Amino acid sequence: MVDHYSPERRTALVLSGTGADGAYHAGVLRALHETGIKIDVIGGRGIGAMGAVLHAIDGAARLWEPGGVWRSASAARLYRWRWPFRWLTGLVAALLIVLAVPLGALVIAAAIYPIALGLGMLGLAQGADLARGLLEAVGRAFGAAGLPTWIPRLVLGLAAVGVLVLGLGVMVERRRQRIRRTSAAPALWSLLGAPIEPGGAIRSATGALWGILKGGASLRAPDSRDLGRRYADLLTDNLGHPGFRELLVVAHDLDAQRDVVFGLVREPYRKALFAATTATSARRAEAHDLAGVAREHLVDALAAALVLPGVCQPRLVSFAAETFWRGESHRLSDRTASLGRLVEEAAAVGAEQLIVVSAAPEPPAPHALRPTRGDVLGQVGEHLASAESVALADAIRHLQHRFQGTYVIRPSHNPVRPLDLAGAFDERSDRAHSIEELMERGYEDAYRQFIEPVLGDSGERM
């Protein structure tokens, strides 16, 4: 039997989701912030890492306030096609327009010629002149020196520009990498194999973070390592003070083939989380102390959690020489199923109560099928949303026994898939559903599903 909620117990809040799910997290965090609910540990995976990192230093308002992450126009560009593919899309559109010119000319001529011919048959000289002019124009256009000559040249030119764009994209990508690593794959595949960029999400997260750290000062943003050190210092110095919470961020190490946790927690839980029994301890390979050697990797952990698995370039992280990995550079990204690992880590740091926030709606009942998405981003979003729902169910089913109370905040219906960053069309209500509306849904669900029934009930019993 699950005990009733008690503010005296150590409580963990876990945010899980991808892309647009962060707007739902923002609404929930706003509601919890308003009611002053005590949170001891905040954890995140995927886009939830952004909310967790900000909420740990009492800065989650940067998510929902005017001009914040989810109320700005830049929210629609958190994830998008990498710039070479956007340029190629424009070139393909131009190519299609060029190829459509002859057909368009014929359609226009075919529509006007009967009118001109009819006017000529009525004895009007203008009609006969127009018909004769159309015939001459079509003859010149499709003559040996007309369309058959310049259309192939234009097509060849556009194709050459496309190849140049791909080559330039590979060069720029290789120069932008802060850390280099050998690869057996062709250089072009580093671009083609990861067509979506998470740069917008990473810039929004680090920009919001730096806005909190610098306060009202006009300072230039530091590099990622310096930003991580400043964040770790601020949180370490203020743990235990109102508004500051212990932090857990989970990502997946593709090279080590294991999930990794980056944490900053207070004693005595820090020893339990980062204990090392032997030199080859799996715990040392997976747990990274943001208050210790890994304090420079806060931004790396955040960026890795924001990397979509399989369609984005992984975050290359170079570990310190004194860590378990001895200076190796590993590829890190998100993994939807790592929600279970995040819940495990919350239990490992002594959480007695767990609140899980996910934008994945309840699994559908019969006769609730939706049209299949035809676009690539939409299909990727469908897979991510389905995986999130399964990961949530597995985590609650297998791990809730480790807590005295487990509470889930999730929508009953959510038409916005993870990569629908500009909103989506809701077939059930036959209208558009915006990101801001999703944020309001999270705010309302927090009150309906947790604050009013759970806190109200516990208050009466207390």
Nearest to 206 by CA among 226, 233, 227, 234: 227
**d(Cα 359, Cα 421) in Å, to the nearest integer?**
13
Q: Which helix (H) or strand (E) holds 354?
A: strand 353-358
Confidence of residue 174 (pLDDT cuts 50, 70, 90): low
**d(Cα 147, Cα 138) in Å, to the nearest integer?**
10
| Residue 296 identity (one-letter amino acid) | E
Each residue's pLDDT tens digit, 376-390? 889 999 999 999 999
Q: Which pLDDT does position 1 carry in this prediction?
A: 38
Q: Which pLDDT does position 79 carry in this prediction?
A: 96
Each residue's pLDDT tens digit, 2-51? 568 898 999 999 999 999 999 999 999 999 999 999 999 999 999 999 99
Q: Which pLDDT does position 350 carry in this prediction?
A: 95
For the record, the structure tokens of 221 come out as 């943003």
Q: Which pLDDT does position 264 carry in this prediction?
A: 96
Q: Which helix (H) or strand (E) holds 253?
A: strand 246-253
| Residue 171 identity (one-letter amino acid) | M
**d(Cα 358, Cα 391) in Å, to the nearest integer?**
10
128 pLDDT exceeds 90? no
Measured torsion, CA atoms of residues 118, 122, 127, 128, in degrees rounded to the nearest 10? 100
What is the arithmetic mean of pLDDT over 307-321? 92
pLDDT exceeding 70 applies to what percent of the chain? 85
**d(Cα 19, Cα 305) in Å, to the nearest integer?**
11
Pairing outcome for strands 424-426 and 246-253: unpaired
For the record, the structure tokens of 148 come out as 């058959």
434 vs 141, residue with greater confidence? 434
**d(Cα 314, Cα 205) in Å, to the nearest integer?**
17
Each residue's pLDDT tens digit, 64-102? 999 999 999 999 999 999 888 888 888 888 878 877 777
